């Protein structure tokens, strides 16, 4: 049976609800505060498990209350956490502000995540590996160089940073949002960025376009798919829901185009669902909501 390894960041997230995002030197009165499990690595691992994948997490947390909170969340999600090590550094944190429209901005303090060295035992037992850019580049490189050739390597290039050629050449599928695609290519228009990505030596890529859907190119196939119209509760975590769902569906042996449709449907359901109910979303819920259903 296929198994997914997620190497990435684990954060304790503080999320504040406000009427809008504050401007420079401005203080606003918020309406609520919530404490959540986070980090792109952790979020994507939990989402992949929620949508049916067998998932192992490799990361770092501190020996502190936020670290204990994170370990408990992984356990409750059914994510195997033998590769999550406790350190003397504080657990990584983020502080996010979410406005009345569901848009948000955040600041991350990496903490223990900076100690991640990418050294993972038993790589030969994983069919798929998922990386992001919230841990040191050296960790991603170390894992990529050790990974068996027959394993599928997925890289979510978020947050943006310049990627070394030897890492890009090993990645089977690069996932970017529209801002990251423009940053990577130096283009101002996302469609110019997509055209530029097609000229690079990439095995495959996906660019997510928010409410405009996504576009992809791999193995000579490329397409654009619009997003379904939904009433958004909050976009916080939407990208991680998309990536986790995509990894989970690819592990079933599904073709990329089908897996992307599954991922987009999952992300659309995710942003339209109240935050307290998002952990109840299942693979069957997504399947029933897919366009062909």
- pLDDT at residue 287, rounded to an integer: 93
> What is residue 193's predicted lDDT score, i.e. its pLDDT?
98
CB of 69 within 8 A of CB of 16? Answer: no
| % residues pLDDT > 70 (the chain) | 99
**DSSP for 151-203, written as a single string:** SEEEEE--S-----HHHHHH-SEEEEEHHHHHHHHT-SSHHHHHHHHTTS--S
111 is in an annotated binding site: no
Is the pLDDT at 207 greater than 70, yes or no? yes
Cβ-based neighbours of 292, under 8 Å, separated by 6 or more = 261
- What average pLDDT does the chain have? 94
pLDDT of residue 102: 75
The domains of the chain, with CATH numbers, are 4-289 (3.40.1190.20)
C-beta of residue 266 within 8 angstroms of C-beta of residue 254 = no
Bridge-based pairing state of the strands 104-109 and 55-62 = unpaired
Q: Give the catalytic positions in this structure.
A: 240
Name the strand (E) or helix (H) holding 87: strand 80-87
The answer to whether 18 and 40 are in contact (CB under 8 A) is no
What are the two backbone dihedrals, phi and then psi, of residue 155, each rounded to the nearest 5 degrees?
-125, 120
Average pLDDT on 49-75 reads: 98
Report the pLDDT averaged over residues 49-54. 97
Tell me if 162 is assigned to a ligand binding site: no
Instruction: Give the three-class secondary structure for 135.
Output: coil
Query: Is residue 64 a known part of a binding site?
Result: no
The alpha-helical segments, DSSP class H, found in 220-293 are: 238-250, 256-271, 283-289
**Is 71's pLDDT higher than 70?**
yes
* pLDDT confidence band for 236 (50 / 70 / 90): confident
Helical pair 65-77 and 40-50, crossing angle rounded to 10 deg: 20
Region 3-31: mean pLDDT is 95
pLDDT grade, residue 86 (50/70/90)?
very high
- Per-residue pLDDT band for 234 (boundaries 50, 70, 90) equals confident
Residue 125, marked binder:
no
Query: What would you measure as the largest C-alpha separation in the chain, in angstroms?
Result: 54
- Across 97-101, 151-155, 182-186, 202-206, least confident range: 97-101
- The verdict on whether residue 198 carries a ligand-binding annotation is no
Q: Which of 46, 31, 14 is nearest to 240 (CA)?
A: 46
Q: Is 186 annotated as a binding residue?
A: no
Residue 188 annotated as binding site:
no
pLDDT band at 245 (very low <50, low <70, confident <90, very high): very high
- In this structure, are residues 5 and 154 in contact, taking their beta carbons and an 8 Å threshold? no
Name residues whose C-beta falls within 8 Å of residue 228's C-beta, 6 or more positions apart in sequence: 264, 265, 268, 291
pLDDT at 120: 84
Average pLDDT over residues 230-254: 94
**Per-residue CA distances from 117 to 53, 110, 161, 221, 227 (Å):** 25, 14, 18, 35, 37
CA 268 to centroid of chain Cα atoms: 15
- Nearest by Cα to 47 from 93, 105, 6: 6
Residue 216 pLDDT > 80, yes or no? Answer: yes
Integer CA distances (angstroms), 98 to 41, 102, 271, in order: 21, 6, 13
Whether residue 177 is annotated as binding a ligand: the answer is yes
Average pLDDT of the segment spanning 159-182: 97
């Amino acid at each position: 049976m296929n198994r997914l390894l997620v190497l990435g960041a684990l954060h304790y997230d503080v999320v504040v609800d406000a009427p809008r995002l504050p401007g420079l030197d401005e203080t606003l009165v918020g309406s609520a505060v919530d404490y959540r499990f986070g980090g792109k690595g952790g979020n994507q691992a939990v989402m992949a498990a929620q949508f049916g994948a067998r998932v192992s997490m490799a990361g770092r947390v501190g020996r502190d209350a936020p670290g204990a909170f994170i370990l408990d969340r992984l356990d409750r999600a059914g994510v195997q956490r033998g590769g999550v090590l406790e350190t003397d550094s504080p657990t990584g944190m983020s502080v996010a502000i979410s406005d009345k429209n569901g848009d948000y901005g955040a600041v991350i303090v990496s903490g223990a995540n900076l100690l991640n060295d990418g050294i993972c035992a038993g790589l030969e037992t994983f069919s798929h590996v998922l990386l992001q850019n919230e841990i040191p580049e050296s960790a991603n490189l170390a894992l990529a160089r050790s990974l068996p050739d027959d394993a599928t390597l997925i890289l979510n290039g978020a947050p943006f940073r310049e990627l070394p050629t030897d890492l890009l050449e090993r990645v089977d599928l690069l996932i970017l949002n529209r801002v990251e695609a423009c940053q990577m290519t130096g283009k101002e228009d996302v469609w110019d960025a997509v055209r530029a990505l097609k000229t690079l030596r990439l095995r495959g890529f996906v660019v997510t376009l928010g409410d405009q859907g996504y576009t992809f190119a791999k193995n000579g196939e490329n397409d654009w798919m619009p997003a379904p119209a939904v009433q958004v509760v909050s976009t916080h975590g939407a990208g991680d829901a998309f990536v986790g769902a995509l990894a989970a569906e690819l592990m079933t042996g599904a073709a990329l185009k089908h897996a992307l449709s599954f991922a987009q449907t999952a992300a659309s359901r995710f942003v339209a669902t109240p935050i307290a109910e998002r952990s109840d979303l299942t693979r069957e819920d997504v399947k029933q909501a897919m366009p062909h259903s």
